[in-house]
Structure formats: C-alpha cells, structure tokens
Structure 1
Amino acid sequence: MKIKFILSVVTALCFSFCVSAKVVMPQLFQSGMVVQRGKPVIIWGKADKGEKVTVTFRKKVYETSADGDGNWRVRLPKQKAGGPYVIRVNDLEIKDVLVGDVWLCSGQSNMDLQVERVYPQYTTDIDSYSNNDIRLFHVHNETAIHGPKRDVRPTSWKPVTKENAWNFSAIGYFLAREMYEKTKVPQGIIADSWGGTPIQSWISADTMKNNFPMEYRRSLLYQNDEMIRSQMRANQLANQRWFEVMNETDPGMSEDFTALGYDDSKWIKKNQYDNLTGERSYMGSFWVRQHIKVDAAHAGKPARLLVGTLYDQDYTYVNGQKVGETGYQYPPRRYNVPAGLLREGDNALTVRFITKGGNPHFIKDKPYKLIFEDGVEIPLSEQWSVREGARMPRCHNSEINVHYLPITLYNAMIYPLAPYPVSGVVWYQGESNTGDGQIYESMLTKLIENWRQLWNDSDMPFVVVQLANFMEPSDKPQDSGWSWVREAQRLTAKHVPNTELAVAIDLGEAVDIHPLRKREVAQRAALGFEKMLFDPKVKLSPEVISSEVKEGNVVLTLDQQLKPGTLYEFELAGADGRYHNAEAVADGSTITIKSSLKSPKSVRYAWKNNPIRANAYGKNELPLSPFQLVIGE
C-alpha cells in the first residue's frame, strides 16, 4: 500500500508538472502588442515535445500540440481593427492587445535616426503628442553568422509618449502618426535597423548564394568564432594602446588645457572653418579654446551648450569640467552645462578633438551657441585658439564589423520576426552601397523577394525611400555613386509590383548625411502605402512616361501636371555619352529641354550628390525623382 501511495504521488506530481509546463513565445508576443488586421493572425512558440497548446482569443479557443522539436503554431482567422483584448496561451496571459496595422521599418542610419536627434525640428509637436493606440517595438542590434536565430533580443511594446519615442526611429514614429490620422485604427511600428550597414547584411544566405556568390563566400570567410574573437580582441588592445600613448604624450593632459586659468594667449588664432591643423591629414589629439562672457544674471545658471557637429571624436569642457563627449562624427553636440559651473565674466570653453584620419573640423550650418533656460542665447565665436596635442601614427588594426557582413542581420534581426503579419515595409538604406550602384537594383529586388517569401506574402507592400541630397553642390555634371543608387531605387520601385518610391531629393542637407526632416520622409512613405492599400488614385511624385526629340529639343511627357516654370539640373548627352547642362521649362504635363546637341541620345535629371537647384515638382508639391533614360525608350 505504501509503495502504491508513493507511486500515486509521483505520478500526480509528474502530471501536475506536465500540465503546468510553460510555453515560450517570441518577444513580439507581449502585453501591449498590435496584431495586423485583415490577415490571419499567426501565433507561435516553443513548448515541450508533444505538449498541448491552447490559445484563447475573443472567446474562441484554438488548440494544437508541439511537434518533435517543441515547435508549435496556431493560425487565427482575420480580425477587424479594435481592442484592447487578451490572448491566453495555456497559463500565459497577454493583455492590452490591439488589432490594427503593423509596419516594419528597416535599413541603416537614416532609418535608425532617433526622435531625440530630430527633436529641434519638431519641438512643440513632439512635446505635445502621446497616443495609446500607437505602439512601438524596437528590435535591438544583434548579429548571427552561422544561421538564423529563433528570436530577437529582449524588448517590449510601448505606447507613444515623448519619453517612449525619444530613442525610437523618427521615421517609424512619424509614419505611425500619419497612418493613424489616415485610418483611425491602432498602429504598431517595428523599428529594425542598424546604422552603416550594407544591403548585403539584410539578405538571406540562400539568396546571396544563388545570386551574389562572391558576397556569399565573403561571409563564409568569417564563419570561425575563434578567429573573430581573436581579431576583435587584438583590435581592442591595439586601440586601447593607441589611446594610452596619445594621452601619455599629450601636453594638454599634464598641463590641463581645460582649466579656466590656463594661459592660452600664445596659441594660434583661427576661424573654425579654416584648416585648423594646417595639414592635409592629421591623426591624434588637437585642442581648441575660446572664452565666453556671462553676465551676472546668468552666472551659475544651467545652460545648454550646442557645439554643432564635429569631426571626429570630441571631449568638451567648460571651466575645466567635462560637460560632454561624443565618439564619432555624426551626432550633434548638445551638452548640458550644470548649475554652478558658469561664472560671471570670463568662462573657458575647450574642445579636445580626436581623429584617426582626416582633419579635425567644425561642420558648417550647424548651431554653435550657449542657451539658458530663460531663452537668452550667447553665440559662440567662430574664432578659436588652437594647439596641437599629441600627433599619432596610424592605429594598425583589421576591424571586423560582423554587422557589415552579408547575411548576419537577416539571420538575427529579420528572420525571427516572420511570419508576424505586417501591413507593409519601409526600406531606407543605400548610403553604404554607393559604390555598388550598378548592382544595387538587383540586390534590392532580391531583398524584397526574399522577405516576401519569408513572410509568405507575395504582395507585401514596400516603400523604398530614395537617398536624400548630400555633400557639396556642383554646377557641373557628376557621375555620382549616390545617383546610381537613387536610380537603382527608382527602377526597383518601377519594376517590382506593389513597391513605391518615396523621393527625398529635396529633404537632405549638404553638411549632414543624417538630415533632420524625417517627418516629411514619413509623410511621403505614408502616401505610398495609401496608394497601394487604400486608394490607387493617389498621386505620388511625377514620373516620366515618354520622351522624344521634337524640333531639335527633347520633350518629356509626365504622368501628371507639373508646377510651371524654368527648371534646373537637367543634362543631355549625345552619342559620346558626355553630359552637358541644359535649360528646361515645365508646362502642363510636359518638360521641354533645349538642346545644344545635334542629336541628343539621353537625358538625366538631378544626377548629382546634391542637386541643390532641382525644382521639378508636381502640383501636389512632390518632387520629380532623379533619373537617367535613353530618349525614345
């Protein structure tokens, strides 16, 4: 009897354990999630082999069992927009679930750019906006070189508030707001991007192997964890030693160039936009100082110090105290000066530049000033006292950035999200592929096919954001790598079904690869989705539908009416392929280009890094895309 009792207890305990065994679900399935309306709802996860899984949603029950590997999946019927609801999976309860539209936003740094960075462009608007019907899901950076991961790094869904949006993709944030205004249904944004990454990183191994074999083999070279660890450790040590030697030999560290009382009267005086070092290239540390006068009313008060944008790394000090540092060139320097630091009268501002190549410099057309809480501003002088710190030799290392390698981000950041249904994808990438313009169309086309196959959605809408204008404008024709990528993006949108182009050729900045006007980019992306999903009559950017030579001039016919007037940034080429600037005029839905060539063969528009004078717009205020075409084809 005693043995039977013990066996009964053990059996009961085993049964209890089996019944209460918890399922494990991907990060996407958490309280606050948004489920895509109008498509079957796919729910999946892990459990013990053979375990029964029960999903309860909106009073209906769906059952399945985990397979031999512990995987399970349930397909729920299409849902209408609404909520909040509760999803129960065995003993797991997912609360506050909304049904609406879900958007995937991916690419590199311009997609990654956070609300914090664009805040000065839209201050009041961001300050005043919150919306519980918009939920944000940020996929954290991760790599996988050997094969796809099952899930992304721990993260969560968050409702839109200023605080929650602060470090979220600005384009994703504004896209959600635009789509909410258009549809009035809940919106979910999945931000899945990584600055500086090439398109190859976001494509699957099979796609790369079958279409870009050399790129695929490049990834194979790094499928050795020991080699990567050893190289990364060696690079870390080399970089660490480089900084140690620089700091040990920099007189500014021992003499404290940052102190208010330091005598900088013998330093060289230079304008901040001159060549500060007098060299073509400089490596090491370099110091600049200036003095700021503060009145009695603002002495001791906290302030915001804007030191524009600097190349490359900086450490910035006020009266000997460090107020901020930035490790690379792109972020704006917005540093807080704490209360009690500023004195009445003279104050010393010191910046220590660190560069590993190129020259330390200030970026033009950026804000350089001290701002107090009462709104009073003190502009910084363009004149600085400058002095060399420690000039250094090159830091010899062989960087291995795994996230730049083919396949790695697809494996770690895209594959785990499927088949979570989405309404559409925004792709903003290409800056890191401006040397690959001739094959970028093929790669982008394959990426779209790849992702649609992964999601088992052959019509999944894509909006491709075309690269914005950037760099120094030129009056002369340029054979620009940026232009070739823009053309590849245009042609992909033209040739791949259910794909639209968001033209951003007028939203860039000459001095900043990360322009701030991200709301306008999101608005144009939203128009693309509106056309594909809700109203095919929506007009996007004008497109050329035919071209011909008429009475010696080139005449382009477009798909819509243009704003009339003289147009710039058009070029014509003859049989020799050499392009020449040409005058053009818009009238109705045609553009007439005056030709100085006897037999013009091809035409292009805005084919430069920064075609600053490009001014062809539809009457809907959207810009004509840069393009190149053979006349008559």
Structure 2
Amino acid sequence: MIYLKKLPLLFIILGLKITAIAQVKLPALVGDNMVLQQNSKVNLWGWASPNEKIKIQLGWQNNPVEITANPDGTWKTAVNTPQGSEKPFDVSIEASNKIILKNILIGEVWICSGQSNMYFPVGKEDGTWKTGVKNYEQEIQNANFPSIRLFTVLTKASQKPLDDVTGSWKQCSPSSIKTFSAVAYFFGRDLYQNLKVPIGLISSSWGGTKAEAWTSQTVLEENPDFLPILEQDAKNEKLFQEKLEIYYADLQKERIANNNDISKSQLKRPKKEENKTSYVLYNAMLHPLINYTMKGVIWYQGESNAESAFLYRTLFPAMIKNWRSDWDQGDFPFYFVQIAPHKGQNPDIREAQLMASKSVSNTGMAVTTDVGNATNIHPIDKQTVGYRLALIARSKTYNESNLAYSGPLYNHMKIKKGKIQLFFDDVENGFKKSNEDLKEFEISGNDQIFYPAQAKIDGKTIVVSSSKVKNPVAVRFAWKAVPEPNLFNAENLPASPFRTDDWPTENQKK
C-alpha cells in the first residue's frame, strides 16, 4: 500500500518532466523587439520535444504556419515577410506551451562585427573606455529611435560551435545606446534616416581579436596557407601550459612552507587569452547567428593582424567566403573599414584590405586616413566611419542614384618624360581642389629608393615627379604607419593608400 500511495506522486513528477521537455524554446535572437528582414523568407527556429507539432501565427498574415520538430528536437522554418514598415507585429509560437513575441518590426537587418573599434561604445564604460565617441553626451541624448533595434552578443569563446548566444533586442534610446557599438549605431542611424524603414543591428565583436578567431576550424585546417596560424596557436597553448605548471609548482612550495596556508600568496595564476585563439569566436559568437536572415555585414578589424598582413591577403577573403557559405544567402554585401593611421600599424594591412575590396565580389571599403589618431588606436570620430559605411550600403545595396561612396582608388599608371601619371577610379567629378600641395607621395627608380615627390592634379589624374629620380618606375602614396594625406575626390572622400610596385616590404620579409 505504501508503494501504491507513492505512484500518483511519481506520475505527477514524470508528467512535469515530460511537459518541461516538450516546451518549445527559442534562441536569444528570436525574441521581443526583433527586426525581421523585409521582403524575404526569414528563418524562425528553436527546440521542442522530438516530433512535436508546432503552430506559428504571424501578425502580418492570416494563415498559421504548422510544422513538426525534428527527431532530435530541433526545428526551423522559413516564413515570408512583407514590405518593411514601422507597424509592430506579434508572433505566437505554440506547442505544449505558447510563446508570444511582441513588438516585432519588419525592415533591414545587418550584422556588425570585428574587434575593438567595432565594439567601441557610444558612451563611456567605467574601467574599459576612457572616452565615448566625439560629442558622446549629445549623441546619447539624441538617440531616440525606437524603430532602430539593437542586439549585442555577449562576448564568449568556445572550442566547439554553439547554438545560441546571450543577449536581447532593445529599442534604441538614450539608455540603451550608451554601451552599443558606435560604428554600428551611426551606420544604422544613417540607413534609417534615408531608407525610412526599421533597422536591426546585431553587434558581435570583441577587442584585440584576429580574423582567424572569426573563421571556422574547417576553413583554417583545410587551407595550407593557414598552417602558420594553427602552429602559432599550438605554441601559445604550450607556453601557457608551461606557465601553468610553474605556477602550480610555486604554489605547492608555498603551501609546504606555510603549513598549507596560502591565503596570503602573491602568486597570480596565468591568464589565457581565449579570444585570440583560432575559430573560438566563430564558434561562440558567429555560428549561433547564421540562421538569422539578414541583409549584409559591416566589419571593422585588422589591427591585430597587422604583423601578418601578407597572410591577411588570403585569410580575410577566406573568412568572408566562409561566412557567405554558412549563411547560404549568396554573396551578401560585406562592407568594411580600412585601418586608420596609428603608430602601431603598418601600410601593408591597409594594402591587404584594399586588395580584398577589389578581388572579393560585393564588398566595399571605407577609408579612414583623415579620422585616425597616431597615439590612440581607438579614434573617437566614429560618426564619419559609420556614415561612410552607410554611403556604400545606400549606393551599392539600396541603389541610391548619384551617390558617391568611395574616394579615389588607384587604377594604373603611365611613365611620361621622367614623370609618372596616375589614373584613378571613383573620380567622376574630379579631385577636391585645395590651396595646399598634395602630400604623402613618394617616387622611386629601379634602385627601389623612394624620395618625397611633387604631385599635381591634371584633370582626373595625378602627375608625380622628383628631381632626384630621373627615370621613375614606381610611386607610393600614404605608405607609412601614420600618413597625413590630403587627396580627396570632389565629394570629399579620401583616397586609399596604395603603391604601384610589388616589391617585398619589410613587413612581408618578416
């Protein structure tokens, strides 16, 4: 009888467990306040009991969507979205339980990723950032755009691909914008003001990180070019383990010397910089996003790859191809920032980025030679950076007519009577006129010794010469860590640094 009395309780407990298991669950990205990509088939996904029936009611259509969870408990479906508008919708997802997602908007969605200059927030963060962006107090006060929605992915590293992130969608307001990516916000704000549709911005970035951390393990392991990266990871791991062994050995010595009392020990356990290891950020901060249907990506990174800039020529395009393959949305727009002047950088990394902009389809590059800071790797003028990225998107993605989005880009040269004539793209309306002489041009003969050069505007070309080089063969422009060039097109967009030669540089020789 005792056992019979316990049976109903047992059934109740089992019933609760079954109900808990059967409940439909959603990833962090699929939540209140989200923006779904307009005029598209967008993914909704999550978890449920194996083979469970799920009904989805979309606020913009009458007929529900009915699906069945997979045998492993996962589910995903693609639903049609209408034209973007600021009308909010609800979405209900029902199985054994019911989830109602509120205040959903339809518009344009962009992934915003990279290292610290993308992570850099609009406002100050105590202990992390000494300053906010330029005029940050005014920018925060004016950041009242409820149709711009913000999602910040919590920083995390993982050796294995994850299925979810930590974060939530927030409406853009003075309180929510303080800690959000400044470049992403200024980019999104410009799009919103010009496109007149809601904008969803997903910020997934982490300071000090390399491109290989944002690239999948498979891509890195299958390309022999990237073997040095994986070898360096192995060396770093070995060095960390050696430091760890020394730490524990010293700690044991202290324990013995102090009768097991180590409460006053001054020893510090070695800290492993997990975010600098290959593929760990791809696994934790990118892989969980790939189901989310979006329009494109903006990217601000490269500082941490400067010392291996020659390898970045291959790595960066491989990373872009990796992301495009995983999202399975074709060659979606991928717009990025060329590294700003700083004493710790080099011209080779800017060249690698310039090469990517020319060789990888549907990309665009925002040049920042005029908004850098020689002593601060985090320049505070993020407004200009976001604006220039938005110019690219508005022209190339949203087909805004007669909109210049790029500064002069070197195309080819001709040698004429002891001078070199340079030809450029993106100078349809010519160069910006200035009373100053053009700066940062150098010229060389076959001896590969470069001398400061005179440079003059000749129509839509630049003619470069020097009395010290009678038979010139090559020109370099802004080819240094901290250039201060003054070459702009008529639309006031700066020219990218470049060189006409392909001689091995000091960085490349390393």
| Bucket of the pairwise TM-score, normalised by the shorter protein | 0.7 to 0.9
**Contact 1:135-1:188 within 8 A present in 2 as well:** yes
Give, in angstroms, the shift of residue 227 of structure 1.
5.8
Where does residue 495 of structure 2 map in the other structure? 624
Distance 2:189 2:283 in 1: 30
Residue 231 of structure 1 and its aligned partner are, at CA, apart by 6.8
Show the counterpart of 1:144: 158
Question: CA 1:396 to 1:70, structure 2 compared with 1: closer, same or farther past 3 Å?
Answer: closer
The yes-or-no answer on 1:80 pairing with 2:83 is: yes
Q: What is the aligned partner in structure 2 of residue 106 from structure 1?
A: 113
Q: How does 1:180-199 map to 2 (within 5 A)?
A: 180-199=192-211
- Tell me the residue number matched to 1:210: 222
Q: Is 1:201–1:405's contact at 8 Å kept on the other side of the alignment?
A: yes
Letter in 2 for 1:624: A
Higher helix share: 2
Asked if the contact 1:119/1:126 (under 8 Å) is kept, the reply is: no
* Percent of paired sites with the same residue: 33
Change (3 A) 1:95 1:223: farther
Q: Is 2:412 the partner of 1:546? A: yes
Alignment of 1:288-437 (within 5 A): 399-437=271-309
- The aligned residue for residue 520 of structure 1 is 384
Amino acid at match of 1:38: N
Question: Does the aligned pair in 1 maintain the 2:244–2:269 contact within 8 Å?
Answer: no
CA change 1:223–1:592 in 2 (3 A) is closer
Please list every run of 5 or more consecutive structure 2 residues that lacks an aligned counterpart in the other structure: 124-130, 253-263, 503-510
Q: Is the 8 A contact 1:564 1:585 kept in 2?
A: no
Choose the corresponding residue for 1:167, options 175, 179, 182: 179
Distance in 2 of aligned mates of 1:568 and 1:506: 13
Structure-2 separation of matches of 1:501 and 1:110: 15
Structure 1 CA distance for aligned equivalents of residues 180 and 500 of structure 2 = 39
Q: In 2, are the aligned partners of 1:106 and 1:193 still within 8 Å (CA)?
A: yes
> Is contact 2:368-2:385 (8 Å) kept?
yes
Root-mean-square deviation (CA, aligned residues, Å) is 3.1
Distance of 1:235 and 1:98 partners within structure 2: 58
Alignment counterpart, residue 189 of structure 2, candidates 177, 181, 202: 177
Alpha carbons of structure 1 residues 188 and 18: separation in structure 2 relative to 1, 3 Å: same
- SS across alignment from 1:100: strand
Contact 2:140 2:178 in 1 (8 A): no
Contact 2:440 2:477 in 1 (8 A): yes
Q: CA deviation at 1:78?
A: 4.0
TM-score (norm 2): 0.83
Kindly state the Cα deviation for residue 397 of structure 1 after the two structures are TM-superposed. 7.5
1:92 partner SS: strand
Do 2:122 and 2:132's aligned partners in 1 also have CA atoms closer than 8 Å? yes
2:489 counterpart SS class: coil
Query: What is the CA distance between 1:115 and its match in structure 2?
Result: 0.7
Residues 466-500 of structure 1, C-alpha deviations (whole Å, 9 max, x = no match): 011123xxxxxxxx952100011111011111000
Deviation at 1:625, TM superposition (A): 0.5
CA contact (8 A) 1:232 1:399 kept: no
* C-alpha deviation, 1:534, in angstroms: 1.8
Q: CA 1:234 to 1:80, structure 2 compared with 1: closer, same or farther past 3 Å? A: farther
Match of 1:505 among 341, 365, 369: 369
Partner residue of 2:138 out of 119, 124, 128: 124
| Distance of aligned partners of 1:429 and 1:19 in 2 relative to their CA distance in 1, 3 Å threshold | closer
Runs of 4+ in 1 over 4 A off after TM superposition: 13-20, 217-224, 226-238, 395-399
Rate the CA distance shift 1:119–1:432 in 2: closer, same or farther, 3 A.
Answer: closer
Higher strand share goes to which structure? Answer: 1
Matched position secondary structure for 1:555: strand
Identify if the C-alpha distance between structure 1 residues 598 and 221 changes in structure 2 by more than 3 Å, giving closer, same or farther: closer
Q: Which amino acid aligns with 1:215?
A: I
**Structure 2 CA distance for aligned equivalents of residues 46 and 628 of structure 1:** 53
- SS for the counterpart of 1:442 is helix
Q: CA deviation at 1:439?
A: 1.3
Give unmatched runs, 5+ long, in structure 1: 239-247, 249-391, 472-479
Distance in structure 2 (CA, Å) of the matches to 1:222 and 1:54 = 50
Matches of 1:513 and 1:465 in 2, distance apart?
14
Which letter does structure 2 place at the counterpart of 1:542? P
Partners of 2:17 and 2:248 in 1: how far apart?
52
Distance 2:119 2:198 in 1: 23
Residue 603 of structure 1: CA displacement?
1.4
Structure 1 74/228 Cα, relative in aligned 2: closer, same or farther at 3 Å? farther
In structure 1, give the amino acid aligned to 2:84: A
- Aligned-partner Cα distance in 2 for 1:235–1:466: 46
SS in structure 1 opposite 2:111? strand
Residue in 2 aligned with 1:584?
455
For residues 588 and 563 of structure 1, do their structure 2 counterparts lie closer, same or farther at Cα, with a shift above 3 Å needed? farther
> Given the superposition, is the C-alpha separation of residues 103 and 541 from structure 1 closer, same or farther in structure 2, using an over 3 Å criterion?
same
Partners of 1:24 and 1:458 lie apart in 2 by 29
Question: What letter corresponds to residue 361 of structure 2 in structure 1?
Answer: P
Write the letter of the residue equivalent to 2:460.
S
2:471 is equivalent to residue 606 of structure 1:
no
| CA distance in 1: counterparts of 2:393 and 2:501, whole angstroms | 30
CA separation of 1:131 and 1:502: change in aligned 2, threshold 3 A: same
How far has the Cα of 1:199 moved from its partner?
A: 1.0
Q: Deviation string for 1:417-473 (max 9, x for gaps)?
A: 0121111111111111110111112111011000001100222101110011123xx
Offset of residue 551 of structure 1: 2.2
CA deviations 1:197-246 (Å, max 9, x no partner) are 1111110001111121332355567899x9699579869989xxxxxxxx
SS of corresponding position for 1:185 = coil
Question: Which structure has the larger Rg over C-alpha atoms?
Answer: 1
